[in-house]
Amino acid sequence: MRASAGREKPADFPSLVPATSPRPAPVRVALLGCGHVGSAVADLLALRAPEIAIRTGMYFELVGVAVADLSRERPGATALDRALFTSDAKALVERDDVDVVVELIGGLDPARTLVEAALCKGKPVVTANKVLLAQAGAELSAIASAHGVDLLYEAAVGGAIPVVRPLRESLAGERVLRVTGILNGTTNYILTRMTDDAMDYADALAEAQHLGLAERDPSADVSGDDAAAKAAILAALAFGSDVLGTTVSREGITGIRALDVAHASRLGYVIKLLAVAELLDGGPDVSVRVHPAMVPAAHPLASVRGAFNAVFVEGEACGEIMLYGRGAGGAPTASAVLGDLIDAARNLRAGSHAPAPHRAKTTVRPPSELSAAFYISLDVLDRPGVLAAVAAAFGAHGVSIRAMEQEGVGREARLVFLTHSAREGDVRATLETLREIETVERVGTVLRVIGPGDGALGQAPTGTGA
Residue 162 binds a second copy (CB under 8 A): yes
In whole angstroms, the minimum distance from the beta carbon of 301 to a second copy comes to: 10
d(CA 146, CA 128): 22
d(CA 427, CA 433): 10
User: What residues pair up with 417 in beta bridges, in sequence order?
Assistant: 376, 404
| Short-list 30, 101, 105, CA closest to 69 | 105
| Short-list 462, 466, 422, CA closest to 446 | 422
Binding mask of the shown chain, residues 437 to 466, with x at each position contacting a second copy by CB under 8 A:
------------------xx----------
d(CA 144, CA 164): 17
Active site residue 90: no
Which residues 28-57 are close enough to bind a second copy by CB under 8 A?
A: 40, 44, 48, 51-52, 54-56
Considering only the C-alpha atoms of the chain, give the largest distance between any 2 of them, rounded to a whole number of Å.
89
Residue of 90, 230, 272, 361 with catalytic role:
230
Which residues 375-414 are close enough to bind a second copy by CB under 8 A?
A: none
Select from 174-182, 242-250, 367-375, 398-406 the region that touches a second copy (CB under 8 A).
Answer: 174-182
In whole angstroms, the minimum distance from the beta carbon of 435 to a second copy comes to: 36
Nearer to a second copy, 180 or 430 (CB): 180
Q: At what angle do helices 330-350 and 36-56 cross, to 10 degrees?
A: 50
Nearer to a second copy, 135 or 287 (CB): 287
d(CA 20, CA 138): 46
In whole angstroms, the minimum distance from the beta carbon of 441 to a second copy comes to: 40
Write out the DSSP string of 164-218.
Answer: HHIIIIITTTS-EEEEEEE--HHHHHHHHHHHHH---HHHHHHHHHHTTSS-SS-
Residue 274 binds a second copy (CB under 8 A): no
Among 255, 283, 296, 425, binds a second copy (CB under 8 A): 283
Could you give the C-alpha distances from 443 to 282, 359, 380, 386, 446, in angstroms and in order?
35, 41, 9, 14, 8
Select from 129-137, 355-363, 398-406, 423-431 the region that touches a second copy (CB under 8 A).
Answer: 355-363
How is the beta sheet containing 100-103 ordered, strand by strand? 85-86, 59-66, 26-32, 100-103, 125-127, 151-152
In whole angstroms, the minimum distance from the beta carbon of 29 to a second copy comes to: 12
Is 351 strand, coil or helix? coil
In whole angstroms, the minimum distance from the beta carbon of 355 to a second copy comes to: 6
Select from 2-10, 89-97, 375-383, 387-395 the region that touches a second copy (CB under 8 A).
Answer: 2-10
Among 125, 143, 294, 321, binds a second copy (CB under 8 A): 321
Cis? peptide before 452, omega within 30° of 0: no
Residue 90 binds a second copy (CB under 8 A): no
d(CA 255, CA 260): 10
Nearer to a second copy, 242 or 314 (CB): 314
Residue 351 binds a second copy (CB under 8 A): yes
Among 21, 87, 113, 352, binds a second copy (CB under 8 A): 352
Residue 203 binds a second copy (CB under 8 A): no
Among 329, 444, 451, 458, binds a second copy (CB under 8 A): 329
Residue 16 binds a second copy (CB under 8 A): yes
d(CA 237, CA 357): 7
In whole angstroms, the minimum distance from the beta carbon of 418 to a second copy comes to: 22
Write out the DSSP string of 144-158.
Answer: HHHTT--EE-GGGTT
Which residues 210-249 are close enough to bind a second copy by CB under 8 A?
A: 240
Residues belonging to the active site: 230
